[in-house]
Structure 1
Amino acid sequence: MFKKTILTTMVSSCLLAGYAGAESITGVVTDENGRPLAGAEVSVVGENQRVLTDADGRFVVSKLLAAEAELHVEARRFGHRNFHFTVPQQGLTDVSLTLLSSTIEVIDVKASPFHASATESALPVSVLAGDALKMRQASTLGDTLKNEVGVHSNFYGGVASSPIIRGLDGPRVLITQNGLDAGDASRVGPDHSVAAEASTATQIEVLRGPATLFYGSGAIGGVVNVVDERIPTDNSTRAEWMLQRESVNNEKLAAGSLVTGVDNIGLYLDGFWRDNGNYSIPGFAEAEPDEDDVKGKVANTAATAKGFTLGGSYLLDNGYVGLSYGRLDREYGIPGHSHGGHDEHDGHDHDDHEEHGAEEEVFADLTQNRYQLLSELNFSSGLIRTVNTRLAFTDYEHAEIEHGEIGTTFKNQSREARIEILHRPYQDWRGGLSLHYKYSDFEAVGAEAFTPPSETQMLALGWMEERHFGPWLVQLGARVERVTIDAADVLLPDIGAHGHEDHDHDHGHDHGTDAGLIRVFDVRQRFTPYSVSAGAVWDFAEGYNLGLSVSRSQRAPSASELLSFGPHIGTAAYEVGALFVLDDDEFVLNTQPIEMETANNLDITLRKFSGNTGFVLNAFYNQVDNYYYQQNTGLFAEDGHDHGDEHDHGDEHDHSGELPVYLFAAADVTLHGLEAQYVWQLNEPFKLTLQGDYIRARLNGGGDLPRTPPLRFAAELAYEQDAISADLRATRYMKQDRTAALETATDGYTLLDASVSYRFNLGSQQLTAYVKGQNLTDEEVRVHTSFLKDKTPLPGRSMALGVRGSF
């Protein structure tokens, strides 16, 4: 079926590829003082056409597809603006387009079919791009984004860290590549690495709050979209590359990308290689170290990764159609997972990753093959203006290897298709429909296969519209899905939890095992989640606007939240899914209907984006009914490993024998908070940025949700003059003592970071040499949002040297 979809799409693309029209627009782009802006980009909304202004700020766009044209104009350090024109057959000349200067960097968001900038959205959006992305990129996605407002990292030893948006992560935060699900296993557990690479990305977008209208119920908490040019939309030749060496873990990084082409063909190639050893810390890895623990290193944090992408596109007068293939290989240690102690590992780097099995007792070996088809077609007449098509097939596998042998293997084959049909403006309304299909075949086999094999299918229909009413922009949308989860041979074992006897159950068939009786049965769950949203942006004064977004979003629980029943060492817990309940001292099948999560979300955003000062203030309130979280049952179960006589049940630091039992339970919760950013251009070279965020996450029945990010403040002083750029950043994390049951509090800490870069030309290449330092005060830091906060503190003082170039 998936192959038929691809063929149908390509045939339709060829049949509908024609265009008509010869109107043109010429003009000039200026700032608010009438000075021409060179290098500003002028693009035609709904058409694959963009030009740059010359030294006098002048531009020409020709061969417009329709008489109603909308130009989008953007320039660095200026706010973006859209201009609407009715173009006669002879065209328009001497059009003047004015942009307002902005201290806040404004970047268009590719995650939206409207491609609006962050200042034009009713929902809060952050975009990390350009030099800022290159300076902040890390080996994991979570650590790359951890300084963005409202975004934290679940820091998993620097090897598998994922982003947390407003206190939500896992299956509530969708990770995408160019708008399509990353197709990995990172939403299942924190020890599973995100299969996306920041070093070859052009920008990373964070949509805070429910983004379910575009992406589905998996985005009930937000979306992180990693954008690259793997399917080029033009064939102009350009390239970027970088080399970096970091001290704290002896990391070596090389990455590069190339876009080129000929005639109507665009070609793309990228690749990267990264290798690092165990990272250094100022103290002990364990919060309460043993006498034989070694100071100064965190074991099992070495990693190596490599990957490449090949892509090509056929460029049409009214759009493009392209294909790409990407390969990713990543091998990384799993900290806090070693069963044999620390003596033979701590204090040693593991640079030879071919000997992982001998040097590190537990590590992950990840492989992903990913195919994508993207197309955008624009039409000059008729009801349909644009058809955007996105297809992906992903084959993902990672094995967890212990003592040189595979212990558990996770596999995920996924297929996804999304078609957006945008209509021609009608009564000034702009929008359309989206049809979205996603299929995932997930399998976990081995000693730590805490969730059974399952198939998840989703089919959805979405609708989105927006319209300007004078200074108001109104945005409306709705989406309905059909989600089906199928699993065969689901197990209900007697886990022999402490304080409970083994009992017979009335469900399924009995199978004798060493652990006791096991019940086997099949599961088929169907859900119909829906989402509705209304938003408005009010430009109440020049350079100011107010955004308001109200939404109601539903989410079906994921397969792991429903079906888990086994040891999950990545979270140091024995996880039991919502399909089971604890009844009279035993786990039995839940006979009650499984409820969907329902989130009612309110966002208010005030922005100032022109002049020498700018700010963004967000306030949000999110009431979630039937929120699935892991509830501590107070029971303990064996982790499934054979530890022989060396296991000591009395050692609270050795989780190899027993794990606390957590049950996925549904409860009503409330999350609310504030996010703020203030930017002041002190003078030509100096800019000051202040920001902070606060999140409160609590159970309505009393108590707090676990791993809630603490209150955070940051101040950054940046300098940019001629060829030199520098910045100094201090971030203060406050103490977090609002904790869940049996969760420990964490102390506050301050991180000091800095960087300096120098730009110069070497022939036709533009080069930048840089040095950056992190945690310059070498502070010992326990990250409250981390599952391993008592085992893996943040890295100590780190210095990185690098050079990057472009042509």
Structure 2
Amino acid sequence: MSILFAQSRTVTGFVFDKEKQYPLQSVNIFVFGEDIGTVSNEDGSFEIQNIPKESFSLSFALIGYQDTTVLINSNETNIDLGPIYLNIEILHFNEISVGAHPELKGSKTISTISLSGSEMHEKMKGTLAATLSDEMGVEVGSMGQATARPVLRGYSGDRFLMTDGGLKLGDLSQTSADHAVSIDMTTAQSIEVIRGAKSLIYGSNAIAGVIDIDKNSMPEAKFDHSHFHGIIGGESGNSSLFTNVVYHLPFKNNQLRFSALNRSAGDQMTPVGVLKNTSVNNNEFFTGISNYGDKGRTSASVEFLSMNYGIPGSPEGHISGVDLEMKKITQKLILHRDIQLFDKYSIFDLEQRFVGYEHREFESNDDYAAVRLRQQILSVQGKLSGFGRVLGSLFQYRKFSAGGFYWTPNTDEINLALFSFREIDLKNFTLQNSFRYEMLSVLPIVSEVLFSNFDKSLVKDRTFHLGSAMLTLLKDWNHWALSTSAMYTQRAPGIEDLFSDGPHL
């Protein structure tokens, strides 16, 4: 049982002059019909808390500029409007309708960690762990700055999930401490830590919760003009420099998005000197297109990521350290439609995703890769959503291969899942319940590996059937929330758990 501070709904964004593209300070911003408002800061940013739960209109007023009103139709906890442009001659926006998934982000949650908008920019650092390091219940485990990873409520490894827009990242960061999380936080729009019954929507092995990162996502609303913005920054502690540029190009009922990132950092400085062989170099390119219709939107995108980083040496082995090269390509096709089904479900989402991941490890200053890991993951997820309810299914195929000093057989894995989530108001309490069924088939290719400690006859196909359920009870007061959860979760072992014949490198 836990008592947590209740988080109100907020809306954030930036206000700019349309013609000269500079930020506008002291713009009066208020929720129409409510006694809620604020003024924009020197950089044009603003944040309004305690906004209504239903749709609302946000008004912008500044002497010398046309009054502008934005209609927001969203049940999200944190609504980031991005840039709002004011024009001294023409009304720039009549109405913006921001689509959302009310059954998910509008539902109550145990977690108090949710970053977006200006707060996200203020806390943003190169890695996910560093970005969350000041949050309650989050610690950092690291073998160098690139491999820093969050420890959530004392749990690490595969005891919690890290997802990108609701699906697993597709990297191998949770299998070894020297494998980096395949995300540079400069391209992330928001982070949410999800606990309780809602976490089973994302996966079964979520006893400590889920960290869901929204990065390089296509906008839910189409801009009415092209837009460019960039971020340049650095850190003195590792002589780092990073640059990220983003360009949106709307045309007819479509919108293109381009993004490019480069980050380079030297060895990390510590109170006792330089930590050698901890430099990092990240490069990322993203392109996507969305089509907007009356009943929904369709988007397609592809992202390329490369990370080169080092981990420091130790007297026990690899005295000079280890160099690692990671490459990852992510392709997404997303269909979002407004529907009416059984008077219960109002949104249908279908996502197809392909991740191609490659990882090589070198003894420092060596040209031969001592370890080579590769996996390809194809996912198809369908989801029906309504107010306080979710029903969905997932098909996932994984092809894993290893080479060098890594004695794990090449393997095909097939994962099928069915999941549901329901939120019910019981007088002054809120009851959430969820269920997830998974079937995982592990199909090792025994002929392609030599075992030293395993009897080959024991390495065979395995199939697991799993069921997980959670029940969460919540009670809100003015400034506090009481929550308690009961859970029964199961996790199927993957090929790395079943048939790895000793450590690598």
Cα deviation 1:153-207 (Å, max 9, x = unaligned): 2112112122111222222222211112111111211111111120011111222
Instruction: Tell me the distance in 2 between the aligned counterparts of 1:474 and 1:568.
Output: 46
- Note if contact 1:176-1:224 (Cα within 8 Å) is conserved in structure 2: yes
After TM superposition, the structure 1 = structure 2 runs for residues 133-282 of structure 1, keeping only pairs within 5 Å, are 133-208=120-195, 212-236=199-223, 237-282=226-271
Are 1:486 and 2:443 matched, yes or no? yes
- Note if contact 1:173-1:218 (Cα within 8 Å) is conserved in structure 2: yes
Residue 354 of structure 2 aligns with an amino acid whose one-letter code is F
Does the residue aligned with 1:566 lie in a helix, a strand or coil? coil
Residue 397 of structure 2 aligns with an amino acid whose one-letter code is Y
Which position in structure 2 is the counterpart of 1:315?
292
1:411 to 364, 370, 374: 374
Which position in structure 2 is the counterpart of 1:365?
325
Does the residue aligned with 1:156 lie in a helix, a strand or coil? coil
Instruction: Tell me the distance in 1 between the aligned counterparts of 2:70 and 2:276.
Output: 59
Are 1:568 and 2:504 matched, yes or no? yes
- Note if contact 2:196-2:485 (Cα within 8 Å) is conserved in structure 1: no
After TM superposition, the structure 1 = structure 2 runs for residues 121-132 of structure 1, keeping only pairs within 5 Å, are 121=109, 123-132=110-119
Which position in structure 1 is the counterpart of 2:42?
none
After TM superposition, the structure 1 = structure 2 runs for residues 610-629 of structure 1, keeping only pairs within 5 Å, are none
Does the residue aligned with 1:555 lie in a helix, a strand or coil? coil
Residue 206 of structure 2 aligns with an amino acid whose one-letter code is A
- Note if contact 1:387-1:421 (Cα within 8 Å) is conserved in structure 2: yes
Instruction: Tell me the distance in 2 between the aligned counterparts of 1:479 and 1:198.
Output: 30
Question: What is the CA distance between 1:472 and its match in structure 2?
Answer: 2.6
- Note if contact 2:375-2:400 (Cα within 8 Å) is conserved in structure 1: yes
Over 3 Å counting, the alpha-carbon distance change for 1:182 and 1:193 in structure 2 is same
Instruction: Tell me the distance in 2 between the aligned counterparts of 1:494 and 1:76.
Output: 55
Over 3 Å counting, the alpha-carbon distance change for 1:317 and 1:248 in structure 2 is same
Cα deviation 1:383-411 (Å, max 9, x = unaligned): 44210122210001011123111111110
- Note if contact 1:235-1:260 (Cα within 8 Å) is conserved in structure 2: no
- Note if contact 1:489-1:521 (Cα within 8 Å) is conserved in structure 2: no
Cα deviation 1:257-303 (Å, max 9, x = unaligned): 233412311222212101112122232xxxxxxxxxxxx22221112
2:337 to 363, 377, 380: 377
Cα deviation 1:196-253 (Å, max 9, x = unaligned): 1200111112224676521122333321111134322122154442111222221111
TM-score of the two chains, using structure 2 as the length reference: 0.77
- Note if contact 1:142-1:155 (Cα within 8 Å) is conserved in structure 2: no
Over 3 Å counting, the alpha-carbon distance change for 1:340 and 1:326 in structure 2 is closer
Does the residue aligned with 1:230 lie in a helix, a strand or coil? coil
Instruction: Tell me the distance in 2 between the aligned counterparts of 1:71 and 1:144.
Output: 26
Cα deviation 1:760-784 (Å, max 9, x = unaligned): xxxxxxxxxxxxxxxxxxxxxxxxx
Over 3 Å counting, the alpha-carbon distance change for 1:413 and 1:113 in structure 2 is farther
Instruction: Tell me the distance in 2 between the aligned counterparts of 1:111 and 1:559.
Output: 35
Are 1:530 and 2:467 matched, yes or no? yes
- Note if contact 1:312-1:322 (Cα within 8 Å) is conserved in structure 2: yes
Instruction: Tell me the distance in 2 between the aligned counterparts of 1:51 and 1:239.
Output: 26
Over 3 Å counting, the alpha-carbon distance change for 1:233 and 1:405 in structure 2 is same
- Note if contact 1:399-1:407 (Cα within 8 Å) is conserved in structure 2: yes
Question: What is the CA distance between 1:445 and its match in structure 2?
Answer: 0.7
- Note if contact 2:475-2:483 (Cα within 8 Å) is conserved in structure 1: yes
Cα deviation 1:567-622 (Å, max 9, x = unaligned): 234xxxxxxxxxxxxxxxxxxxxxxxxxxxxxxxxxxxxxxxxxxxxxxxxxxxxx
Residue 390 of structure 2 aligns with an amino acid whose one-letter code is G
Which position in structure 1 is the counterpart of 2:362?
401
Instruction: Tell me the distance in 1 between the aligned counterparts of 2:404 and 2:431.
Output: 51
Q: Structure 1: any 5+ residue segments left out of the alignment? A: 1-26, 63-69, 78-107, 284-295, 343-360, 496-504, 509-519, 570-807
Over 3 Å counting, the alpha-carbon distance change for 1:35 and 1:146 in structure 2 is closer
Question: What is the CA distance between 1:136 and its match in structure 2?
Answer: 3.0
Cα deviation 1:489-524 (Å, max 9, x = unaligned): 1868446xxxxxxxxx8x44xxxxxxxxxxx65421
1:300 to 277, 295, 299: 277
Instruction: Tell me the distance in 2 between the aligned counterparts of 1:112 and 1:149.
Output: 26
Residue 398 of structure 2 aligns with an amino acid whose one-letter code is S
Over 3 Å counting, the alpha-carbon distance change for 1:174 and 1:566 in structure 2 is same
Does the residue aligned with 2:268 lie in a helix, a strand or coil? coil
Over 3 Å counting, the alpha-carbon distance change for 1:28 and 1:445 in structure 2 is closer
Question: What is the CA distance between 1:368 and its match in structure 2?
Answer: 0.7
- Note if contact 1:172-1:218 (Cα within 8 Å) is conserved in structure 2: yes
Does the residue aligned with 2:503 lie in a helix, a strand or coil? strand
Over 3 Å counting, the alpha-carbon distance change for 1:406 and 1:413 in structure 2 is same
Which position in structure 1 is the counterpart of 2:94?
none
Over 3 Å counting, the alpha-carbon distance change for 1:163 and 1:544 in structure 2 is closer
TM-score of the two chains, using structure 1 as the length reference: 0.50
Instruction: Tell me the distance in 2 between the aligned counterparts of 1:561 and 1:129.
Output: 36
Instruction: Tell me the distance in 2 between the aligned counterparts of 1:453 and 1:209.
Output: 35
Are 1:116 and 2:53 matched, yes or no? no
Are 1:545 and 2:503 matched, yes or no? no
Instruction: Tell me the distance in 2 between the aligned counterparts of 1:493 and 1:73.
Output: 51
Residue 425 of structure 2 aligns with an amino acid whose one-letter code is H
Question: What is the CA distance between 1:483 and its match in structure 2?
Answer: 1.2
Over 3 Å counting, the alpha-carbon distance change for 1:197 and 1:258 in structure 2 is same
Which position in structure 1 is the counterpart of 2:349?
388
Over 3 Å counting, the alpha-carbon distance change for 1:111 and 1:278 in structure 2 is farther
Are 1:441 and 2:447 matched, yes or no? no
Instruction: Tell me the distance in 1 between the aligned counterparts of 2:246 and 2:195.
Output: 29
Which position in structure 2 is the counterpart of 1:97?
none
Instruction: Tell me the distance in 1 between the aligned counterparts of 2:209 and 2:239.
Output: 34
Question: What is the CA distance between 1:565 and its match in structure 2?
Answer: 1.4
Instruction: Tell me the distance in 1 between the aligned counterparts of 2:403 and 2:74.
Output: 53
Residue 251 of structure 2 aligns with an amino acid whose one-letter code is V
1:555 to 479, 491, 497: 491
361-370 vs 404-413, greater mean Cα deviation: 361-370
1:457 to 393, 411, 414: 414
Cα deviation 1:25-58 (Å, max 9, x = unaligned): xx96455xx356788698998xxx9863344999
After TM superposition, the structure 1 = structure 2 runs for residues 594-673 of structure 1, keeping only pairs within 5 Å, are none
Question: What is the CA distance between 1:113 and its match in structure 2?
Answer: 4.8
Count of residues in correspondence between the two structures = 439
Instruction: Tell me the distance in 1 between the aligned counterparts of 2:198 and 2:150.
Output: 16
Question: What is the CA distance between 1:115 and its match in structure 2?
Answer: 1.2
Instruction: Tell me the distance in 1 between the aligned counterparts of 2:202 and 2:77.
Output: 26
Does the residue aligned with 1:202 lie in a helix, a strand or coil? strand
Which position in structure 2 is the counterpart of 1:52?
58
Does the residue aligned with 2:267 lie in a helix, a strand or coil? coil
Question: What is the CA distance between 1:470 and its match in structure 2?
Answer: 4.1
Instruction: Tell me the distance in 2 between the aligned counterparts of 1:112 and 1:152.
Output: 31
Question: What is the CA distance between 1:336 and its match in structure 2?
Answer: 2.3
Does the residue aligned with 2:290 lie in a helix, a strand or coil? strand
Instruction: Tell me the distance in 2 between the aligned counterparts of 1:455 and 1:76.
Output: 40
Instruction: Tell me the distance in 1 between the aligned counterparts of 2:460 and 2:494.
Output: 13
- Note if contact 1:366-1:398 (Cα within 8 Å) is conserved in structure 2: yes
Residue 533 of structure 1 aligns with an amino acid whose one-letter code is M
- Note if contact 1:210-1:220 (Cα within 8 Å) is conserved in structure 2: no
- Note if contact 2:414-2:440 (Cα within 8 Å) is conserved in structure 1: yes
- Note if contact 1:464-1:475 (Cα within 8 Å) is conserved in structure 2: yes
